[in-house]
Structure 1
Amino acid sequence: VEVIVGSRGLTSQRNRIIQAAAADTDILIFLDDDFIPAATLLSRMAAVFAANPDVAIATGEVLADGILDGGLNMSKALQVLETAGERAEQVTEVYNAYGCNMAVRLSPVLQHALAFDEQLPLYGWLEDVDFSRSIARYGRSVRVEGARGVHLGVRSGRQPGRRLGYSQVANPVYLVRKGTMSKGRAVAQIGRNILANTRGLLFNDRVIDRWGRLNGNLLALSDLLVGRVSPSRILEFGNPAPREMPSPSIATKRR
């Protein structure tokens, strides 16, 4: 096990991992530290990349995702994995890989000097969409059913709701301007986030800081109207006690 220390922020840390792995790695697999892979996930991903040289990025099958319902514990994750059984790999096209588990072929990354966009600071909201669409110009983006895992969605230590709420609006706008997200998808993404935060506030959601997120949403919309919306603006919000920050990544490399 090699521990690599990078500067704060998901995108910068993932770039540091790519730099460290570049010399001797063909396939790099990013797993959030609250993603519990099935025992066969790595071998199945490796088999898909070996059999499909045109695949540039892949994401596995998430059997359960705690992000959607307040978080899962380890015993529940293991139960899900044990009862799911095994199935053959099935490869289907996907718009983007899911950041909690992404396998990346490094040759197009190095050949075309691709990187995670460090203009998406801290949480790096939608960094998986941005990177996936960038690398998809040079190969297929796929989902591998049968390469399975469970995402706990642990909420402790995550970034404050206001910061994330601002990113939920500012980051899609930035990606549209950059060309890695369509306007239609961005509008739908922003709308879903605002609707979820409003609904959570109205129904007194005690799991997620809905008021903070909605406050961030509205601030970003206000900045958009006056022409100063930017992902990096969240760095101006101070540094309160962390509440909703993402899980760090663990990278697995395979020759």
Structure 2
Amino acid sequence: MSPPPLPIAPDLLKAVRESCLEAGEIAVDLFRPGEKTAARTWSKSGGSPVTEADIGVDTFLRIRLSVLLPEAAWLSEETVDDALRLSRRFVWVVDPIDGTRAYMSGSPDWAVCVALLDEGVPILGVVHAPACDATYQALRGGGAQRNSAAISATTTTSLAGSRIAGPKPMLDALARSETFEQADKIPSLALRLTRIADGTIDAGLISADARDWDLAAADLILQEAGGLLSGGSGEAVVYNRETPVHGMLVASGSGLAEPLISALQRMRDGQPQRS
């Protein structure tokens, strides 16, 4: 028997959106368009960068979201993982600044991301990109919006002429067997997915090692816009596992999913390249 729906979902989405807008103001205060951030920066274990803005946004959202839904567990890039989340129905999944390197360098392509999982399935998502003047949101079954206007992924079914974003090595490998347009780099994984959701691009590739917080909110927005995120062989994306790390992923409008996955499979199988 499936769990009952969350009764306050529309009001909760509104409150989460407002929280993300406020969180964005914290980050914008130290953001310098086209210039190095004014925030203090350092490296985490493993070498990935973090700034005082990441920590400030994370702290703010943990306090705010915990009040909105106290029974929900917490999973965030900037918080020590707590195994309690594995036994909870609801889990907040947060990336305080997705695209920290972009933020640090003055690029506008970064976002505050919040998702709510229900038994591991995203049911609410907000991706707020203040430097791009874009706020994406979705509620499961309620469609997806950008700045309160409905959005939808493209309906193209052919790789030829499609616009695809992703790591250059992956795009170059795909280009040896397929014809398509390489879109400009989008450093934030969440924004890569939401720009598929709003039709700015047709598809995106994501290399292995993405985490739940990079994906969950934008995944729901993409689904509600008629798109699909899956593993490189078409397998479903599973959230809130013990280790919230993913392999290679592919995202697109629903009509391009099968052609793109088939092309990647041919590429991996080493089938003849086009002349």
Considering fraction of residues, name the structure with more strand.
2
Q: Which has the higher contact order (CA 8 A, sep 6+)?
A: 1
TM-score (norm 2): 0.24
TM-score (norm 1): 0.25
Considering fraction of residues, name the structure with more helix.
1
